[in-house]
A and B are shown apart, each in its own frame.
Chain A
Amino acid sequence: MHLAAVLDLILVLLALGAAGAATARLAAGRIVVYGGCFAACAALLGLAGAALLGPEAAPSTLSLPLGLPWLRANFALDSLSAVFLVVIDLGGAMASLYGLGYGRHEHEPDRVLPFFPLFLAGMNLVVVADDAFAFLVSWEFMSLSSWALVLAHHREKATLHAGYVYLVMASIGTVALLLAFGVMAGPGGDYAFAAIREHGLSAGAASAVLVLVLVGAGSKAGLVPLHAWLPLAHPAAPSHVSALMSGVMTKVAVYAAVRILFDLVGGVQWWWGAIVMGLGALTAVMGILYALMQHDLKRLLAYSTVENVGIVFIGLGLTLAFQADGLVTAAALSLSAALFHVFNHSVFKSLLFFGAGAVQTATGERDMERLGGLIRFMPVTALVFLVGSASIAALPPFNGFASEWLVLQAILASPDLPQWALKFLVPAVGAMLALSAALVAACFVKAFGITFLGRPRSKSALQARETDAVSRGVMAALAGLCLFAGVFPGVVMEGFAPAVRQLSGGAVPVSEGAQWLLLLPQAGSRSAYSGVVVFVLILCACALTFFVVRAVGSSRTRRAPAWDCGFPDPSPATQYTADSFAEPIRRVFGTVLFDARESVDLPAPGDMRAARFEVRMRDYAWDLLYEPVAVAIAYAAERFNRVQFFSIRRYLTMVFGALIFLLSVVALWR
């Protein structure tokens, strides 16, 4: 009976939206809305957790008399939905709690409070929808409410642009999904998921669905080259909403892809896997290279979301390939890896966006070139941001490493695949995954180092103060979760096992009876990772080193001016900046991938002009894909605009013509 309770709680969220609209101008509005959202999300999290950990039951379904008169809205809760409910509501609960403190600094709360609960409700509804109609309505609900949140700070010009691009891309994505469901429903037009599962599709139709899903869900998730809206829209929203969009909404898109490709379509073919993992690898590498080129902290985080989505799609692509070839255990392994990474990314990306929000509140800056030295003014935020950075950079003993380790193990299981194309593709995908993992480390050394370390680069950075206690508590809880999921990955993955069994038919035998100790990729495998042993070993080594050094050597410390080879410069402008940190990597990768061109204008001695250094980069995804689409839409809109100014006679003629045309189509069809 979990499902009815889940729907009730979603109703509560919808009601909170109304409450938010009513009380937005009052001081109590923030507490009512965020407190209520926290309670609702926490309850939903509890329900989903109970559904996953409890005895496995058949999916519960519910059919409600909503929507069009002759269609009922169907909802269902199975283990896959439950996994994604956990991800959504963990992120939602944390973001609501963080909003309690962070929302105090909001200038126009009436632009955030009504939409925040609606956004949460929309995401929850998507994962429990059980027919195409309910799914698409919820999906569009989620898109539009998040669009309204992106426009919360609508007076900034960049935000308007971001909102417009997001709206266009969201519409294109929904159209693609609509068409995908149309193809799946077939001529019978039965849109219930149960009916779609019943009748199989021809190979061609199924492949069309794949392409449409990659456009529809892939654009929402941020697959390269459809990603360009994401780094515009996600950072424009208030930080707790950015955290939800990046950490959670991209996961709803992953859910859509998983639900359609693994559950509804059926008849998986091996080359689907090749396409999906190829796109995933491209997304991973390009996403992190884009991130390295940024100096806006929140944009950097948004691009890193693109990279993580790439890793998830690599896992999904491998699963498709394994499934098509009937390798059940390998499919279970890669699907577990993908789901575990979905969970992990939602945790650490929320943490990092909250940290960026704290920095923005404290300094009013998002530009890393104007930050620096914050570790001295915001020690707690710095520590938790460091944990988040280490997690996302896949460093043991944190959680990002555990899921990337599983993806790498899944790649190592793939020489058993019979297709030659896959034999060539998979090692290349592995190399790109490894490359992106290494680049993430560089990217987050830059993000943490330039923002929190060094000397303050502006007056606002110098005057930063630690953020409020609620926000610190939320971030500390997420940091603790990063460590817990990294040290005990088996325990967390045990929760995903029902969903993996449901979709792949196999399970990752995490470890025979000792989930807390060892992570094993396959039964009987000799490769293993024990987060807890590694963690304890590092702690012991640290302690031992500390005591030995204290015993043998001096424990005295003196403070002196920085050494810097004898010539320290007092100006903070002589430090490395975000751009200069990334310069070597830009020279190695950017010259080709971004067409990066540097020009130096150094005046002759005696000339008093300022020297200039300029870097120009091209974004091919924008120039070659987005720009032509934008131009085409503008052109079409211009043409269609004329339709508005016809006389009544011409309208009537057009209506008549359309009628004739449709009647003749019907006549020919019969």
Chain B
Amino acid sequence: MAVNPFVLQAGQAALVVALAPLLTGIVRKAKARLLRRRGASVFQPYRDLLRLARKDAVLAENASWLFRSTPYVTFACIWAAAVFVPTFATRLPLSAAADLIVIVALLGTSRFMLALAGLDVGTSFGGIGSSREMMIASLAEPAMLMIIFTLALMARTTDLSTIAADFALGHVGLRVSLGLALVALIMVAIAENARIPVDNPATHLELTMVHEAMVLEYSGRHLALIEAAASLKLLLYISLIGCVFVPWGIAAPGAGTGAIAASLAAFAGKVAIGAVLLAVFETAVAKMRVFRVSEFLTGALLLGLLAALLLFVSRSF
């Protein structure tokens, strides 16, 4: 019996929000285990979010309406973007409304608002965070677009759901440009999610921090939303890499209840593996100086450009 696609769509929207803190919990747990620490429970992020949400929000005296509304807008934009990324099923009702370019641009909207909020109170930490975040984004975004070009040239569409469905059929096969795009996408994902070696999500009070400096003035429910948004963005990127490069196990349109359950399990497995790989990577490398980040991301941009260029030369690369 086929499941109503609208139920699936709503289920996916709820699932990504519900699962995102768990992903952060798994990454933290895995990192702790790799450092031979016991680490907090994987459910700790849920407790943290709830605790933050229940506290009073403390606002700086001169914070404006923009500062107060940004957490909601940021979270909403990332959530909207996550709704369009196939997790356990493709061709959901809303997926035709936005392609991969829109997804990336929605993340851009959320970053734009967050960077503005960093400048709102007028502190030096907020400024340094915003300024560096925008510098990183100004290289990461074009790299991401080059990756989109690469995928779009292979699948002849920028619609992510169609790309995932096409790739799952195995028509594309192993390609040079696909490999380049994967490496570039991982580099972009690391930068976009403020992970080591670009930024460190676990530090405070360090001059090299970027994202955390930008949101330093937030507290209470606002901070809870921003942390939830960060987890959601990480989940979004892992689902994105999963649905394009490991597209197997995603339910096709019209799948029955059993197939949906299997694809849910496959999705959970992909996310868990992604989380552990991220933890291993983060433990193994050292954070780089902030002005090395531009070289790192220029590398990603050039890899993406090379991949797209190869496809312009011949569709068979």
Q: Does A624 contact B (CB under 8 A)?
A: no
- Check B138–A439 contact: CB distance below 8 A: yes
Q: Does A453 contact B (CB under 8 A)?
A: yes
Among A373, A528, A563, which residue has its beta carbon within 8 angstroms of that of B217?
Answer: A563
Among B53, B127, B132, which residue has its beta carbon within 8 angstroms of that of A549?
Answer: B53
Among A415, A542, A553, which residue has its beta carbon within 8 angstroms of that of B221?
Answer: A553
Q: Nearest-CB distance from A257 to chain B (Å)?
A: 26
- Check B305–A554 contact: CB distance below 8 A: no
Nearest B residue to A454 by beta-carbon distance? B122
Q: Does A435 contact B (CB under 8 A)?
A: yes
- Greatest chain A CB density within 10 A among B83, B109, B205, B219 is at B109
Among A449, A537, A539, A558, which residue has its beta carbon within 8 angstroms of that of B116?
Answer: A449
Among A453, A518, A559, A565, which residue has its beta carbon within 8 angstroms of that of B120?
Answer: A453
Chain B residues with Cβ under 8 A from A529's Cβ? Answer: 97-99, 101-102
Taking A545-B75, A557-B57 as contacts, is the C-beta distance between A376 and B138 under 8 angstroms? no
Chain A residues with Cβ under 8 A from B98's Cβ? Answer: 529-530, 533-534
- Check B116–A528 contact: CB distance below 8 A: no
- B residues neighboring A (CB under 8 Å): 50, 52-62, 64-66, 68, 72-73, 75-77, 79-80, 83, 94, 96-99, 101-102, 105-106, 108-109, 111-112, 115-116, 118-128, 130-132, 134-135, 137-142, 145-146, 149, 152-153, 157-159, 162, 204-205, 216-217, 219-221, 224-225, 290-291, 294, 301, 304-305, 308-309, 311-313, 315
Q: Does A599 contact B (CB under 8 A)?
A: no
Nearest A residue to B143 by beta-carbon distance? A434
Chain B residues with Cβ under 8 A from A580's Cβ? Answer: 127, 131
- Check A449–B130 contact: CB distance below 8 A: yes
Chain B residues with Cβ under 8 A from A49's Cβ? Answer: none
Among B58, B96, B137, which residue has its beta carbon within 8 angstroms of that of A442?
Answer: B137
Q: Does A55 contact B (CB under 8 A)?
A: no
- Check A453–B116 contact: CB distance below 8 A: yes
Chain B residues with Cβ under 8 A from A496's Cβ? Answer: none
Q: Does A642 contact B (CB under 8 A)?
A: no
- Check B138–A435 contact: CB distance below 8 A: yes
A selection of 6 A-B contacts at a CB cut-off of 8 Å is A396-B105, A415-B315, A439-B138, A454-B122, A518-B97, A562-B61
- Check B309–A564 contact: CB distance below 8 A: no
Chain A residues with Cβ under 8 A from B76's Cβ? Answer: 538-539, 541-542, 545
Chain B residues with Cβ under 8 A from A555's Cβ? Answer: 221
Taking A393-B112, A423-B312 as contacts, is the C-beta distance between A576 and B131 under 8 angstroms? yes
Chain B residues with Cβ under 8 A from A597's Cβ? Answer: none
Nearest A residue to B312 by beta-carbon distance? A423
Among A415, A554, A561, A565, which residue has its beta carbon within 8 angstroms of that of B312?
Answer: A415
How far does the alpha carbon of A441 sit from the alpha carbon of B312 in the complex, in Å? 28
Q: Does A133 contact B (CB under 8 A)?
A: no
Chain B residues with Cβ under 8 A from A541's Cβ? Answer: 75-77, 79-80
Q: Nearest-CB distance from A235 to chain B (Å)?
A: 23
Taking A455-B122, A534-B97, A575-B124 as contacts, is the C-beta distance between A554 and B221 under 8 angstroms? yes
- Check B149–A430 contact: CB distance below 8 A: yes
- Check B312–A564 contact: CB distance below 8 A: no
Chain B residues with Cβ under 8 A from A448's Cβ? Answer: 116
Q: Which 8 A-B pairs have the closest CB atoms?
A: A576-B127, A553-B53, A454-B122, A449-B119, A541-B76, A434-B142, A533-B97, A584-B135
Taking A435-B142, A438-B139, A576-B124 as contacts, is the C-beta distance between A538 and B77 under 8 angstroms? yes
- Check B132–A584 contact: CB distance below 8 A: yes
- Greatest chain A CB density within 10 A among B122, B125, B152, B304 is at B122
Interface residues of A in 546-579 (CB under 8 A from B): 546, 549, 552-565, 568-569, 572, 574-576
Among A372, A394, A444, A556, which residue has its beta carbon within 8 angstroms of that of B57?
Answer: A556
Interface residues of A in 495-539 (CB under 8 A from B): 518, 525-530, 533-534, 537-539
Chain A residues with Cβ under 8 A from B145's Cβ? Answer: 408, 430-431, 434, 437
Interface residues of A in 314-373 (CB under 8 A from B): 372-373
Chain B residues with Cβ under 8 A from A438's Cβ? Answer: 108, 137-142
Nearest B residue to A574 by beta-carbon distance? B124
Interface residues of A in 20-44 (CB under 8 A from B): none
Taking A423-B313, A572-B122 as contacts, is the C-beta distance between A395 and B108 under 8 angstroms? yes
Taking A395-B112, A455-B122, A565-B205 as contacts, is the C-beta distance between A412 and B153 under 8 angstroms? yes
How far does the alpha carbon of A408 sit from the alpha carbon of B77 in the complex, in Å? 21
Nearest B residue to A586 by beta-carbon distance? B135
Q: Does A387 contact B (CB under 8 A)?
A: no
How far does the alpha carbon of A376 sit from the alpha carbon of B55 in the complex, in Å? 26
- Check A445–B116 contact: CB distance below 8 A: yes
- Check A562–B62 contact: CB distance below 8 A: yes
Nearest A residue to B52 by beta-carbon distance? A553
Q: Nearest-CB distance from B168 to chain A (Å)?
A: 15
Chain B residues with Cβ under 8 A from A393's Cβ? Answer: 108, 112
Among B54, B96, B138, B149, which residue has its beta carbon within 8 angstroms of that of A528?
Answer: B96
Chain B at the A interface: mostly helix, strand, loop or mixed? helix
Chain A residues with Cβ under 8 A from B97's Cβ? Answer: 518, 528-530, 533-534, 537
- Check B309–A554 contact: CB distance below 8 A: no
Taking A431-B301, A562-B217 as contacts, is the C-beta distance between A545 and B96 under 8 angstroms? no
Chain A residues with Cβ under 8 A from B224's Cβ? Answer: 549, 553
Chain B residues with Cβ under 8 A from A434's Cβ? Answer: 141-142, 145-146
How far does the alpha carbon of A563 sit from the alpha carbon of B304 in the complex, in Å? 40
Q: Does A645 contact B (CB under 8 A)?
A: no
- Check A401–B105 contact: CB distance below 8 A: yes
List 15 additional contacts besides A376-B64, A450-B119, A553-B221; criterion CB under 8 Å: A396-B102, A405-B101, A435-B139, A445-B112, A527-B159, A530-B97, A537-B97, A542-B76, A549-B53, A556-B57, A557-B57, A563-B58, A564-B124, A584-B291, A585-B135
Taking A434-B141, A562-B121, A564-B216 as contacts, is the C-beta distance between A373 and B53 under 8 angstroms? no
Chain B residues with Cβ under 8 A from A390's Cβ? Answer: 109, 112
Q: Nearest-CB distance from B9 to chain A (Å)?
A: 11
How far does the alpha carbon of A576 sit from the alpha carbon of B313 in the complex, in Å? 45
Nearest A residue to B57 by beta-carbon distance? A557
Q: Nearest-CB distance from B141 to chain A (Å)?
A: 4
Q: Does A625 contact B (CB under 8 A)?
A: no
Taking A556-B57, A576-B127 as contacts, is the C-beta distance between A542 and B142 under 8 angstroms? no
- Check B125–A564 contact: CB distance below 8 A: yes
How far does the alpha carbon of A529 sit from the alpha carbon of B50 in the complex, in Å? 36
- Check B80–A538 contact: CB distance below 8 A: yes
Nearest B residue to A584 by beta-carbon distance? B135
Chain A residues with Cβ under 8 A from B79's Cβ? Answer: 541, 545
How far does the alpha carbon of A559 sit from the alpha carbon of B57 in the complex, in Å? 8
Among B99, B132, B217, which residue has its beta carbon within 8 angstroms of that of A527?
Answer: B99
- Check A437–B153 contact: CB distance below 8 A: no
Among A376, A430, A539, A552, which residue has its beta carbon within 8 angstroms of that of B50?
Answer: A552
- Check B106–A558 contact: CB distance below 8 A: no
Interface residues of A in 359-412 (CB under 8 A from B): 372-373, 375-376, 379, 382, 386, 390, 393-396, 401, 405, 408-409, 411-412
Q: Nearest-CB distance from A456 to chain B (Å)?
A: 9
Taking A541-B75, A563-B217 as contacts, is the C-beta distance between A583 and B131 under 8 angstroms? yes
How far does the alpha carbon of A538 sit from the alpha carbon of B102 in the complex, in Å? 12
Q: Nearest-CB distance from A420 to chain B (Å)?
A: 8
Among A441, A556, A572, which residue has its beta carbon within 8 angstroms of that of B108?
Answer: A441
- Check B131–A527 contact: CB distance below 8 A: no
How far does the alpha carbon of A587 sit from the alpha carbon of B149 in the complex, in Å? 28
- Check B158–A527 contact: CB distance below 8 A: yes
Chain B residues with Cβ under 8 A from A382's Cβ? Answer: 66
How far does the alpha carbon of A576 sit from the alpha carbon of B119 in the complex, in Å? 8
- Check B125–A431 contact: CB distance below 8 A: no
Chain B residues with Cβ under 8 A from A527's Cβ? Answer: 99, 152, 157-159
Q: Does A428 contact B (CB under 8 A)?
A: yes
Chain A residues with Cβ under 8 A from B139's Cβ? Answer: 435, 438, 588
Q: Does A426 contact B (CB under 8 A)?
A: yes
Nearest A residue to B306 by beta-carbon distance? A427
How far does the alpha carbon of A180 sit from the alpha carbon of B118 in the complex, in Å? 51
Chain A residues with Cβ under 8 A from B80's Cβ? Answer: 534, 537-538, 541
